[in-house]
Structure 1
Amino acid sequence: MIKRRRFDITVLLRVYLAAILFLLSFFIIFAYRKNVLSILVDNDIVSFRISDEVAQKIQNDLGGEEFDIDNLNFIQKSIDSVVGDYTFSIFQMKNEQDYFLASHGMAPDEMSTKFSDVLEINFLDETVRVVLYPKFTGYSRLYILADAAVSLLISLFFYYLMLLEKKRCILRHIFQNIQQRMRWKLFHKLSMKLLIVNLLAGVFAFGMFFFMYENRYSFFEFIRATEISEQTNYDEIHQEITKKAKNLTFSKKNKKTAEKILDQYTSNYFYCYIYDNNGDYFAGNWNRVGSIERLFTRGTVYDVSAIYVPEYYMYSVNFSGETGQLMIYSYPLIPYVTPYLVAIVLIAVSMYLIPVMRFMNRKVFEIKRLQNDILVLASGDLSHDINPQGRDEIAQLGQDLNQMRLILSENIRSEEMSRKNNSELITSMSHDLRTPLTSLKAYLDILKYRKYKDEAQYEKCLDRCIRKAEDIKEMSDAMFEYSLVFEPDHRAQLENITLEELLPLLIDQMEQLEMNHYHIQYHSPDNTCRMEIDMQMMKRVFNNIFSNIMKYADQEQPIEIDVLCHEETMEMSFINHVRQDLDKVERNHIGLKSTAKMMSLMKGRLDITGEEQTFICKLTFPIL
């Protein structure tokens, strides 16, 4: 069975944010196209002057006849067929003055006027001046391609940054610093984070909306430059109006009829005027004109030159025996205003929702992860580590759960160790008791079944039975040492005492050695000191040390005991020679183990050194 891969919503979010950045960078760079164009023209890289060949062709097509204003439509079409990448205005030159006749195409903006060119057409009877305004179609296409390439690189680099875990950690670190600086006791950490996320997301969303609203001119100039807006065939409108108005005259009784005809060919973004043969206004869509021009009130979304600068189209219209002028004013970008507003509102809302929902989803994910961790712990796997991230209440809950896991695991481990130590204690005690019990049973069997040879052997067996019984008693008395070695929970009852209070215990043990015919060389301290010692433990420490001396030391050699007080420590050293028949003595080293454990409980140290024939035991205590 093929397992379906779960879709990662974060990939879609990254793509969406990269796309938004692409659009923003694209329109920001597009807004500087005029500056780039000025640099190119100033350095003679591009030019928008009409070539001599084009000027000569227009002159050849139109200049061989007399100028007739009724042929103005033909003149416009002829010029447009030759210079299609230009809009133009036609002026009639009389008495060294220019009289406006017609315009074709979009009204010139500042950049078109700056790079305009003038062409004079010499008819047989007069001269007509044509002012040509470039549309920059070719330049706009190349600039848009370069703009799109640069914006794509920027968005891809931003997408790559979002993939880097290091960058996310940096952002998280910045966020945590902001949280710490803005933390009040009134809020919990999680609520404070949510408040900060909402504030930052709201400010960012509002800033995004304000930025796109204030820079809306870049979008509408892009639509205008690329000519992707819906193009209306005004030539067909002119022909249909001419057909319906051919029986009308320029009289007041026909004015309403003419306005009704014009109303049939108007829309929400263009309107028409008719002027009579004297150039006076005759009819027009005044209601439509008022409703459109009210949109261009300063401060509204329509207050952008790319929107409120119209396209002009002038045609000759033949009434009954008379010729007038049809003027069409078009605003093709008005239909794009509402979709643009809706789009930037949706983008701004998404810029608010993305970080807020991202934050909430991350917290829900952390809660679900804690839930899964609890289920794993409930199944008995206490080795499962809970590693929460962050510093809020959810992370604190994870840390508390992890601490509880560690304590529970430690308790279970301690319990298992205690059981193991008890088992080792029983095993060790049974092993140490088995040897004297076996010997005791053997001697008792000899006595019971009268296997001894004479009275001397009988007494010898009794002595050995008594000795083995004493060994068993000593081992029973040593139960404390066994439990001390194998149980980790013993605590020392430390007392602040002087060296003079401790020495009587040492001297008492030395006297017992001397009673057993051991020779002692004792070096007393020159000064005194204070220590923290458990007196009961010290009695057992001395018992173990002197018991080992009596068991393993050579009675023929002296035993050296030194007590020294240094600046930070007090030392007691015991040096003895090892007896030759040591292999006949049973050893389990439990006394030294218990001594080392008791010394560590009293914050001291036991050091065992020596050679083959010498045994050195040194006790070290920290002094106060």
Structure 2
Amino acid sequence: MAHRKFTLNQKLALLIVVAAFASGIVFLTLQKISNDLIDSYMNSDEYYQETSARYIKRFSQYVSLNELASTDRKAFGEWVRKENYIMLTIFKDQLLQYDSNYTTADEAAYGKEKVNQYVQNHSHPVKFSDGEGRVIIDGFYSSRYYDLAFTAELIGATLIFLTVVLLGIRRRVRYLRQINQEIHMLEGGELDYRMTVKGHDEIALIAESIEELRKAFLDKLLAIEKLQAESRSLVTEMSHDMRTPLTSLIMYLEFAKQEDVPIVTDQGRYIASAYGKALQLKTLSDNLFDYFLLDKEHAADLESVAVKEVIYDLISDQMSILHQEQFRVSITGELPDTFIDVNMEELGRVFDNIMSNLLKYADRQETVNITFGSDREKFEIHISNTIKATDSTTESTRLGERSIARMMSRMQGQFYSSQDNTIYKTVLRFWNTRIQLAEKTP
């Protein structure tokens, strides 16, 4: 039995650690590459001057469009917040008019702070509604690209983390699907299929438990089959051994019946009753033998036969026996030009069992009705008779019917029986394998 080295929780924790380590390496690698690229391009003086000039132009258009004066500080603040990542400084008449870095407490410097050398070297002229001023725009122009790169790096690292985790989980999910498929195979009766055991976690332990259950169940089935085989062998041997003394007993009783013993005497009644019981016991023994003999056989050898030929011969033989026993028989319908798959020996035993039931339980004063019915798929024989008042109940074991049902099933057919008050009905159903073509007249 497999020992559990790692539980599912431990495997999941280890998988998360590995995924986090891999995603961390990817994140740091991407960050180093992106930072180098941004630093090499966006922190150059050319890029800085080009970007500042572009913002100066945009700010000049904003001032012109809104006809702003150099003292419209609120409008300047809104533009700075909208553009983001920049710092705006405005001078007019050599005095400071606006600085985006100043707080409310610093606004006292407006109109007082003078232009310095840095402003003179880096400022650009902008025309306001109250005259020309000097504007300086500085910015963290690369910051937005750092933020975008950070977002992309974080997304990439997250995808790596999820990919590693999902790939690790996927292996066990695939194994669960395999176990599910193998369980369905066991449910379908393939008990010889061995369960696949992979790993040492809880899932593997479940698979191993199912495998042990399969082995135990298969052993029990084999033991049951062995006991059933022994029981069938014992019953069939006993049934066969009973035939010899039963045959002798029936023969002796037939000799006794031939003696001139009036039936009205006690001796005559005893002989007649014993003879009837002996025949009944022989019938039960034959049914028991046939039933267990069928149970031992695995499959019937079937052959395709024409319904009109085979069924006609069997029905004719049975009708002859019924007429000899003073039965009235009515036949309705016609035999179709079709073929069915049957085993001739077992088909004959089916009709013999039906005939035996008719002779034992059918009322000779009433008509036995036989009806043929067919379509493109099936052919059916319906038989109905009235049960004798003295024998209104069938044998308790119903081995005769069970033997008929089993033989019909082995021939891929079906058998049904029903009783409505004193009317007993049976149905034999066969499946048409092909339709016989009518012969062309010359």
* Smaller-chain TM-score bracket: 0.5 to 0.7
The RMSD of aligned alpha carbons is: 5.2
Match in the other structure for 2:426: 617
For 1:21, the aligned partner's letter is V
| 2:361/2:392 contact within 8 Å kept | no
* Counterpart check, 1:467 vs 2:276: yes
Q: 1:582 & 1:515 partners in 2: Cα distance?
A: 21
Matches within 5 A, 1:449-464: 456-464=265-273
Deviation digits for residues 443-491 of structure 1, max 9, x if unmatched? xxxxxxxxxxx99223322332232222222222223332156x37531
Q: Which residue of 1 aligns with 2:27?
A: 22
- How far 1:510 moved relative to its partner? 2.1
Check whether the contact 1:484–1:597 (CA below 8 A) recurs between aligned residues: no
Q: What whole-Å deviation, never above 9, does each CA across 1:340-373 have from its counterpart, x for those lacking one?
A: xxxxxxxxxxxxxxxxxxxxxxxxx94778xx78
Matched, 1:599 2:408: yes
CA separation of 1:510/1:492 partners in 2, compared to 1, >3 Å: closer, same or farther? same
Q: In 2 relative to 1, CA 491–145 (structure 1 residues): closer, same or farther, beyond 3 Å?
A: closer
1:494 alignment counterpart: 302
Letter aligned with residue 492 of structure 1: A
How does 1:269-308 map onto structure 2 within 5 Å?
A: none
Q: CA deviation at 1:574?
A: 0.9
Alignment of 1:570-589 (within 5 A): 570-583=379-392, 586-589=395-398
How far apart, CA to CA, are the structure 2 residues paired with 1:380 and 1:157? 38
Could you give the per-residue CA deviations for residues 577-619 of structure 1, whole angstroms, max 9, x where no partner exists? Answer: 2233345653321111111111111111113245223222121
Q: Is 1:381 paired with 2:212?
A: yes
In the TM superposition, 1:383-402 aligns within 5 A as 383=214
Aligned residues of 2:378 and 2:430 also touching (Cα < 8 A): yes
Q: How big is the shift at 1:153? A: 4.7
Structure 1 segment 173-184 matched on structure 2, within 5 A: none
Contact 1:554 1:576 in 2 (8 A): yes
Show the 5 A alignment for 1:310-459. Answer: 366=198, 376=208, 381-383=212-214, 413=221, 416-417=224-225, 419-420=227-228, 456-459=265-268
CA distance in 2, matches of 1:40, 1:510: 117
Q: What TM-score comes out, normalization by structure 2 length?
A: 0.54
Measured after TM superposition, the shift of residue 14 of structure 1 is 0.6
- Counterpart residue type for residue 301 of structure 2: Q
Q: Distance in 2 between matches of 1:462 and 1:544?
A: 26
Against the structure 1 CA distance between its residues 495 and 412, is the aligned structure 2 distance closer, same or farther, given a 3 Å change threshold? farther
2:291 & 2:86 partners in 1: Cα distance?
105
- In 1, distance between residues paired with 2:403 and 2:319? 21
Q: Distance between the aligned counterparts of 2:298 and 2:236, measured in 1? A: 19
Give, in whole Å, the separation in 2 of the partners of 1:411 and 1:532.
36
Distance in 1 of aligned mates of 2:289 and 2:200: 51
* Equivalent residues, number: 313
Q: 1:560 to 1:603 in 2, by over 3 A?
A: same
- Alpha-carbon deviations, 1:385-443, whole Å to 9, x = none? xxxxxxxxxxxxxxxxxxxx7xx96685365256358659979999xx9xxx9xx9xxx
2:326 corresponds to which residue?
517
CA distances 1:170-216 after superposition (whole Å, capped 9, x unpaired): xx9xxxxxxxxxxxxxxxxxxxxxxxxxxxxxxxxxxxxxxxxxxxx
* Cα distance in structure 1, aligned partners of 2:15 and 2:361: 77
* 1:479 match: 288
CA contact (8 A) 2:371 2:383 kept: yes
Distance, in Å, in 2 between the alignment partners of 1:155 and 1:522 is 86
- Structure 1 residues 367, 612: closer, same or farther in 2, change over 3 A? same
Q: Displacement of 1:545 after TM fit? A: 1.2
Following superposition, the deviation at residue 24 of structure 1 comes to 3.6
Flag structure 2 segments of 5+ consecutive residues without an equivalent. Answer: 1-5, 57-82, 92-116, 124-137, 175-196, 250-262, 435-442
Letter in 1 for 2:379: M
In the TM superposition, residue 512 of structure 1 has moved relative to its aligned partner by 1.8
**Structure 2 CA distance, aligned partners of 1:149 and 1:571?**
78
Residues 118/478 of structure 1: CA separation in 2 closer, same or farther (3 Å cut): closer
Q: Which amino acid aligns with 2:55?
A: N
**Structure 1 residue aligned with 2:255:** none
Matched residue SS, 1:586 = coil
State the alpha-carbon separation in 2 of the partners of residues 469 and 142 from structure 1.
109
1:43 equivalenced with 2:55 (yes/no)? yes
1:160 counterpart (152, 162, 173): 162
Quote how far apart the aligned CAs of 1:538 are.
Answer: 0.9
Residue 153 of structure 2 aligns with which residue? Answer: 151
Give the C-alpha shift of residue 526 in structure 1.
Answer: 5.4
Aligned pair partner of 1:10 in 11, 15, 30: 15
Counterpart residue identity of residue 16, structure 1 = F
Instruction: Find the aligned partners of 2:353 and 2:17 in 1 and give their Cα distance.
Output: 76
Task: Tell me what 2:100 maps to.
Answer: none
Report the secondary structure of 2:389's partner residue. coil
CA contact (8 A) 1:523 1:561 kept: yes
**Structure-2 change in CA distance of 1:579 and 1:464 (3 Å):** closer
Paired amino acid for 2:221: R
Which residue number in structure 1 is paired with residue 368 of structure 2? 559
Cα distance in 2 for partners of 1:166, 1:593 equals 57
Partners of 1:47 and 1:498 in 2: CA distance: 100
Deviations 1:128-175 (A, max 9, x none): xxxxxxx99x77788757754653354235423543469958xx9xxx
One-letter code of the match for 1:472?
Answer: L
Q: Which amino acid in the other structure matches residue 416 of structure 1?
A: I
For residues 141 and 17 of structure 2, the distance between their equivalents in structure 1, rounded to whole angstroms, comes to 35
- Maintained 8 Å contact 1:484/1:594: no
1:539 to 309, 324, 348: 348
Deviations 1:65-95 (A, max 9, x none): xxxxxxxxxxxxxxxxxx9xx9xxxxxxxxx
